[in-house]
Structure 1
Amino acid sequence: MASKILIVEDEPDIVELLVYNLDQAGFKTEAVFNGADALDRVKVQAPDLVLLDLLLPEVDGLEVCRTLKRDPETASIPIIMLTAKGEAIDRIVGLELAADDYITKPFSPREVMLRIRAVLRHTLNAPRNKPLNQIQIDELKIDLDRHQVFSNGSVIDLTATEFKILSLFAHSPGRVFTRSILMDAVWGQEYYGIERTMDTHVSRLRRKLGQFGERIETVHGVGYRLKE
């Protein structure tokens, strides 16, 4: 059965481009042009994925994302954000920890297809009915409410910074995070430290996680990612 994609975008030309290419790729599509209609539409019939513009009339994309992720009935629906603002990426990653991926405008249709398929593949492989405040990856469990990490039932003692870094990786396995995005997410955009500081924190995190830490890969010249 074809996956259903809800496109939430207020620019008709972009909607037309996305609908055409997604339909050609075998997806079912539906489009709405503002955030309020998006929330209403998801309640009527939940899509398999939401392609969500950040800047929308009535209700902006960040609020749509927050609302969907806080509702247990819609929290598991994957969301890919569309944004033309570089600083908005940092807000999504650092403040919300909710969107499953983001795509920066202008984008190529091929990039959109690849991102959608990757997110859907990860969603299908993820365990169902997991607690919303926990992330389980193999032997590692991250309790977001208590700020605790467990490996095979044993507590791993992480600093607040290490916990934030691990949470970012765990929310988006396979995604590459630049050092600057990690720094903004952990310390805010007002922080002006050197990027090597982040390397030190990631190195310590790897050691504390033991064998699991080997899955945090260095992407040379770019940053880090958690291997899926």
Structure 2
Amino acid sequence: MDKTDTILIVDDDPEIRRLLEDYLARNGFAAIAVRGGREMWQALERHAVDLIVLDLMLPDSDGLTLCRDLRAKPGKPNLPVLMLTARGEDADRIVGIEMGADDYLVKPFNPRELLARIKSILRRTRALPPNLAPEAARYLVFAGWTLDTAERLLTAPDDVATPLSGGEYRLLRILLDHPNRVLTRDQLTEMIHGREAEPFDRAIDVQVSRLRQRLRDDSREPALLKTVRGEGYVLAAAVARREK
């Protein structure tokens, strides 16, 4: 029997909590709804959660801080997060992606769109696109760095290991599977988010910036993850695969 996915809803609006609990339950999900950050952490301790729908504005903290702390928490860095924001400003969405959110949705929203986004995120998380299928060789080595594809750990040349968020891992895997090849923003958006890029959507630029920080690549003059003006991005490195 297939496992029922559990969605944790974190929103201080009781009507939205009731609406989403009922709608997700009617569409085959188990739903848990809480009103703030403290209750979110308690729910994560008590339940096996598959995805969090996280409101940006909460009474006891903000969703951006919670998302950042979640990414830093041992055992939780890859837990998918769909961020809700009452404002459609690019700055809010960009900061959400910077903090590690997998996707975002602007209020007011259609519950059907929320459901579609949830299904898309879970599908990407569990059934990675063909070019992200498990490697025959576990480790990808490039420019002194090593990516452990089983643990999703990025190890620097000085042996410091860092866990990657879901979005960071998917972006790096795509670049490593296509080294020294320019990939456009539209191509990256489709491969990472499973949707077409929206006009003025800067999510990919933000994720590239985050990955550059992980790779200690100077954003002003990047040597490893380069910008090709007017085209996209390229990982300028040879990639080797090994099992140990």
The structure where helix makes up a greater share of residues is: 1
Same fold (TM over 0.5): yes
Report deviation, 1:33: 0.2
Unaligned runs of 5+ in 1: 143-148, 189-199, 211-228
Q: Is the 8 A contact 2:82 2:104 kept in 1?
A: yes
Using structure 1 for the length normalisation, give the TM-score: 0.66
One of 2, 22, 25 as aligned partner of 1:20: 22
Larger RCO, structure (CA 8 Å, separation 6 or more): 2
Aligned to 2:62: 60
Aligned to 1:35: 37
Report deviation, 1:183: 8.8
Aligned to 1:182: 202
Q: Structure 2 vs 1, CA of residues 106 and 64 (structure 1 numbering), >3 Å: closer, same or farther?
A: same
SS in 2 for 1:59: coil
Letter of the aligned partner of 1:51 in structure 2?
V
Q: Is the 8 A contact 1:55 1:83 kept in 2?
A: yes
Q: Structure 2 vs 1, CA of residues 171 and 90 (structure 1 numbering), >3 Å: closer, same or farther?
A: farther
1:135 and 2:135 are equivalent in the alignment: no
Report deviation, 1:39: 1.9
Unaligned runs of 5+ in 2: 129-133, 135-149, 154-162, 210-227, 237-244
Aligned to 1:51: 53
Q: Is the 8 A contact 2:190 2:196 kept in 1?
A: no
1:90 and 2:90 are equivalent in the alignment: no
1:80-123 deviations in whole A, cap 9, x for unaligned? Answer: 01111123112213x32x11111111111111111111111111
Matched ranges for 1:1-228 at <5 A: 1-87=3-89, 88-93=92-97, 95-96=98-99, 98-126=100-128, 128-131=150-153, 132-133=163-164, 135=169, 141=173, 150-151=176-177, 156=180, 169=189, 172-182=192-202, 201-205=229-233, 208=234
Q: Structure 2 vs 1, CA of residues 136 and 55 (structure 1 numbering), >3 Å: closer, same or farther?
A: closer
Letter of the aligned partner of 2:70 in structure 1?
L
Using structure 2 for the length normalisation, give the TM-score: 0.62
Aligned to 1:197: none
**Identity value in percent:** 34
